[in-house]
Structure 1
Amino acid sequence: MKHSFILALCTAVALLPACRNHSAPVATEFKQTEANMTAAAVASDELPLSESEADQAPALPISQKIIKNAVLRFSTSDFEACKKRIADTVKKYGGYIASEKQENTSMQWRNEVAIKVPAATFEQCVESLTGGASGVDEKSITSTDVTEEYVDLDARMKARLAVEQRYVQILQQAKNVKEILEVEAQLKGIREEIESAKGRLQYMDHHVAYSNISLEYYQTFANSDPQSPGFLQRSWLSFKDGWNGLLSFALGILSAWPLIVGIVFIFIFIKRGIGRWKSRKTPANVNL
């Protein structure tokens, strides 16, 4: 009997630490989870390799992420033909026109076009667009390497995904409403960061795959344009400029008719006043 009591007492003492560890709340576990999982995920996306495996494992190539942009500005002698040529060129190289803004005046026609073209055909498209221009005013090409930012953001997103999975496991072990709400609050913040990182990665992928071309072309009809056509057409443009100037002058006079009418009334009023004043000062004729 005495031996049975001692055996039961020893068993209870041995099980006491295990019971205490089992009764620890889930909230204590998830407070340390994010830091541990993030550090582990950033350090390596997989389990660490042994030295022999690390020597034999080939290095994964990292493709460069380069965003290309071009700014083009040139004049043309035939606006409509140039517009059609640009549309055909963009279509030929697999691109598309993202936006277009055209402004037409009596002196100049102008069009601003935002073009998206695959990075593989970017240089050929730029050369074709400027090839048929009358005179190129501006041509600049820039390249931005976002490889480092892309790799860093991708690693951080994978780390957050690993933390998210761990929190999902902790959520399944939650024992009460308080623990559930705390874990869900952490999950919400992590998932927002993941969505933000995904959006940024998609943005960079799209701009790497499709380069940007900001194109502006114009046709000037003023007589002073050094790129104007031949003598006969320049004579016609001069006549047109003179006619437009006359019309502008006539329209200016018409728009100022209230001022003109007011001046006429003031002139008549002053003239009559002067006439009356003179008639008063003139002595009346005396009949003899």
Structure 2
Amino acid sequence: MLKKSLFALIVLALLITACGGSQMNAPEAMPAEDMSFAESEAGSAAPEYVTSENTNTAGINVEAVPVERLVIKNAELAIIATNPTQNLDEIGQMADSMGGFVVSSNLYQRTLNSGAKVPQASITVRVPVERLDEALEQIKAGAVEVENENTSGQDVTQEYTDLQSQLRNLEAAEAQLMQIMEGATKTEDVLAIYNELVYKREQIEVIKGRIQYYEQAAALSKIDVTITADEADQPLQVGGWQPSGIAKDAIEALISALQFLAGAGIWFVLCILPVGLLIGLPLYFVGRYTMRARKRRKAAQQAEKVLPVENE
């Protein structure tokens, strides 16, 4: 009874390990962006079959079966464009419309020999392998000039076949270990077999991850594109002197002067003029009254001087 309970617990632990191992044992050598392919795209390479040789794992031979030939196709493009920013957006939209995705994109500035700075961009996308040529043609159609184009193919059929053979042998070894565990009578034997089963399960999950990577990499091709701005389309610049830039500065200075005058006029009408009227009007009336009073006094004095002379 104890043996059956222990066996049931070990089988349950193996099942839990198998469920969790598929996420923990991804192939370390594969780039993170490559492992994010959609599983539905796996295995779309050309259906050319090859046969793998038998391999031996833990002394168990499993007969080989035909597998599809897998070729990983990638491309690199260096193009010249009038507007790199626009091309960057168009390439990303193209990848999405084809069922692919953007891996990375970068927009920055490059300094020309004349000292002018022009935009430059780079983008990496993945598209279905059957639409690779179509994608390349669309990218080149939006370019002024294609500086460099490189298409490469890596045949990973042998590696893929070896991995599948190893997987079959490991799964067969796992099944035999389960049978041996059923006949084990000692607790230490059961634990030793359990440890070996855990090790085999880890190997199985790692190999499954590598197989999945190859299938997905063959289904989605990677395109690296470098986009450089067309120098002929850039503004004229001689020895660091750029006429369009000078004209722009002059217009900005004119606008600033007009803004200053308009601001000064607003300040005068809304602030200085009211304050001036508030202070100036009383002073004006006081001054005017004073001047009139002086004139009256002066006229009276002159009249007094004239009157005695007439009396004589």
TM-score interval (norm. to shorter) = 0.5 to 0.7
**2:225 aligns with one of 203, 211, 215:** 215
Q: CA deviation at 1:180?
A: 1.5
Q: Residues of 2 paired with 1:102 and 1:36: CA distance?
A: 51
Q: Which residue of 2 aligns with 1:234?
A: 236
Q: Which residue of 1 aligns with 2:96?
A: 91
Q: Please show how residues 1-288 of structure 1 align to structure 2 within 5 Å.
A: 38-42=58-62, 44=63, 62-104=67-109, 107-219=117-229, 225=231, 227-228=232-233, 233-234=235-236, 238-239=242-243
Q: Residues of 2 paired with 1:160 and 1:174: CA distance?
A: 21
Q: Name stretches of at least 5 consecutive residues in structure 2 with no aligned partner.
A: 1-54, 111-115, 249-312
Please give the secondary structure, in 1, of the residue aligned with 2:159: helix
Q: Which has the larger radius of gyration?
A: 2
Q: CA deviation at 1:112?
A: 1.6
Q: CA deviation at 1:168?
A: 1.3
Q: Give a deviation string over 1:13-40, Cα, whole Å, max 9, x none.
A: xxxxxxxxxxxxxxxxxxxxxx987544
Q: Give a deviation string over 1:88-123, Cα, whole Å, max 9, x none.
A: 322332221111122146602122211010011011
Cα contact 2:92–2:125 (8 A) shared by 1:
no
Q: Residues of 2 paired with 1:129 and 1:201: CA distance?
A: 31
Cα contact 2:79–2:147 (8 A) shared by 1:
yes
Q: Give a deviation string over 1:243-262, Cα, whole Å, max 9, x none.
A: 99xxxxxxxxxxxxxxxxxx
Aligned-residue CA RMSD (Å)? 2.9
Please give the secondary structure, in 2, of the residue aligned with 1:234: coil
Please give the secondary structure, in 2, of the residue aligned with 1:133: coil
4+ long deviations beyond 6 Å: 241-244
Q: Residues of 2 paired with 1:97 and 1:166: CA distance?
A: 45
Change (3 A) 1:167 1:240: farther
Change (3 A) 1:37 1:112: closer
Q: TM-score, normalised by structure 2?
A: 0.54
Change (3 A) 1:150 1:241: farther
Q: CA deviation at 1:142?
A: 0.3
Q: TM-score, normalised by structure 1?
A: 0.58
Aligned residue pair count: 187
